[in-house]
Structure formats: structure tokens, C-alpha cells
Amino acid sequence: MNELLPPNSTTHERNLATVAARLGDIAVPLRDLTNPDTCPLAILPWLAWHLGADRWQDYWSEAEKRDRVRRTIPIAKKKGTVGAVRAALAAFGVDLILREWWELTPPGTPGTFDVVLTVHGREGTRITADLVRDVLEEIDRTKRLSAHYTFTQGVTVTGTQPVAGAIRPALYRRLCLTEATFSMHGIQSLAGVSRPAVYRRLLISDI
């Protein structure tokens, strides 16, 4: 053991040097403790408090907690902007659509925006009352105080229409009627009167 004690050091001084040397051998992973990706889960709430996170819920998943801590400082840098609201909502793992007033058809009231949350989540996220409350509180926390918004919970429905068909041969017959007039001169009827006769010809052809 390397030490700087003089040769005439006392036993008490040597004992203190030995204890201090043992403490120095204990690893203190400060970089890991301040990293949202490597910080132990049990210490993660304290890291969130240290970085200035405004909200924390125990029922959040581990991935969501780490993502919240990771986004804390970037959101704080642009708090009060639409970009901050979008970044805060992206951490929920759900399908959220945010449109400012000039993006609506027809345009809305200046200074307002619209948020639509679909009832189905992504990556296994369930839409619950707690989640909706968290979304609203996060919007209120990051938006500009003078901005007002409309929150809508919508439904996304997808479906398919099956189409079936069949082909079979068909036979048609065309009827052609022609009219011909024949003169019956020279033919004596029983009544002794001669008159022309009209006949109709029926032609059948396959198509």
C-alpha cells in the first residue's frame, strides 16, 4: 500500500490511513447514477428530482420512467412552445395528433391548438383514465399559459371489404323477324277473290 506517512507516525495515524485506503477502493459510479439509461431503477426517482422533473408516477413502466428523465432537460429548454408539448406527449407511447389553429380546416381561433388521442395505444399501451389525466396535466405543464386547447378522444377503425366473383358461360339466341310480301296472282281462293298474302320469317342464330 502506498502511503505518505512519515516513519515516526503513530499507530492511530496508520490505522486511519488503512481505513481511508479501503474506502478509496470502493467504486462510486457517479456517471452511471446520473445517466437515465444506466441509473438503477430504485434511484431513478431521485435522479428525476435532481434534473427538475415536475411529475412522477409509480405506475409508469420502467421504459417510460427512463424516457421521462431523458426528456426532462430538453423539454425545460423550450418550455412554453409547441415543440415542448410535442416532446412531452411523445413519451406516453400513444397516438397523439397536435394541430395548431392555422392547421385546422377551417382555421380555428388564433392562439389555440387541438389535441386528438386515439383510443388504441401502440406497443401494448392501454388507454386508461390515469393516462388521459397524465396527458392533460402534461399539456398544461408544458404549453404557453396564454394558449388554450381542445382535447378530443377519437377512434381509429380499419377494415377490409371482401370481394368474390364467378364466371360462367351463357348462350343467347337472337330472334330476327323479316317481313316479306308475296303476290298471289293467279291463285283462286274459294271465295273467288285474289289478294296478296303477307308472311313473317323467323330466323334463329346463336351468339
Judge whether residue 100 has pLDDT over 70: yes
Same domain membership, residue 139 and residue 123? yes
Judge whether residue 200 has pLDDT over 60: no
pTM: 0.59
Count structural domains, the chain.
2
**1 within some domain:** no
For position 88, which CATH number holds? 3.30.300
Same domain membership, residue 136 and residue 91? yes
The 10s digit of each residue's pLDDT in 149-185 is 999 987 655 556 666 665 555 554 555 555 555 444 4
Q: DSSP characters for 7-70?
A: TT--HHHHHHHHHHHHHHTS---HHHHT-TTTS-TTTHHHHHHHHT-S---TTS-HHHHHHHHH
Mean of per-residue pLDDT scores for the chain: 79
- Across the range 34-44, mean pLDDT stands at 95
Judge whether residue 2 has pLDDT over 70: no
Same domain membership, residue 30 and residue 64? yes
- Across the range 126-147, mean pLDDT stands at 90
Boundary residue ending a domain (138, 156, 174): 156
Q: Which domain holds residue 112?
A: 80-156
